[in-house]
Amino acid sequence: MIDLKKMIYPVIIIILLLIIFIQRSCCGESSKFQSKKEILIPEKKDSFPSIKPIKLTDVKIKDSIIFKDRKINVVNPLDKKMVVDYLKAKDSIERLNLFIKAVKINKYNQNFDNDDISLNIEAETTGTLNYVKPTYTIKAQKVSAPVYIKQTRFALYTGIQVYDNKNLGNPGVEVDLSVQNKKGDIYTIGYDTDKNIYIGYKFRLININK
């Protein structure tokens, strides 16, 4: 019959010895270590809706043009070449063609590109600006960011084993406690019903990370 009461004092001794191992295994270095990980920030595409820009009315620049020996003052600069061509037109058809050219619908498209963003501006005019539409792509980027990974400073294990000889005539029980330090090494102390004390050390041979 196995008397577990007799194992209480040896277990207390084992715990005291483990305290020594814990002090040796767990002091000193931080429980975290820093590494760098490359993170891919994916590109993002979007656009603003087409809008008619607000015309600035508070900015007034004086200008003028001469017509039949008279100076005509106007607000804001003129395309004077178009005015001169209109005044020099010989007949109404030529003037109509100049007017059609002035109010003709024109479409514009311009791309601005650098390492960070690709910006496309689309616009339409008919003498005045009808609309403007920006479309942008924020390009994908790879950045290195610090990653803090927690390490095990120590872990405490306990276990129990039942054993016997091949004739099944000497059963026994072994109780052990194990401490794993921050390096992954394991110290083991055990005691069995045959009053044997076990002290062991395990070190890591292979460590496979995902």
Bridge partners (DSSP) of residue 19 are none
Highest mean pLDDT among 68-82, 108-122, 178-192: 108-122
Highest mean pLDDT among 10-19, 75-84, 105-114, 144-153: 105-114
Residues 162 and 178 sit within 8 Å (Cβ to Cβ)? no
pTM, to two decimals: 0.43
Q: Is 190 exposed, middle or buried (0-12, 13-18, 19+ CB in 10 A)?
A: buried
pLDDT exceeds 80 at position 91: yes
pLDDT digit string (tens) for 159-208?
A: 888 888 888 888 888 888 888 877 778 888 888 888 888 888 887 777 77
Residues 6+ apart with CB under 8 A from 38: 142, 143, 144
Residues 86 and 98 sit within 8 Å (Cβ to Cβ)? yes
CA distance linking residue 189 with residue 178, whole number of Å: 6
CA distance linking residue 121 with residue 133, whole number of Å: 6
Residues making up the chain, counted from first to last: 210
- Classify strands 70-75 and 62-67 as parallel, antiparallel or unpaired: antiparallel
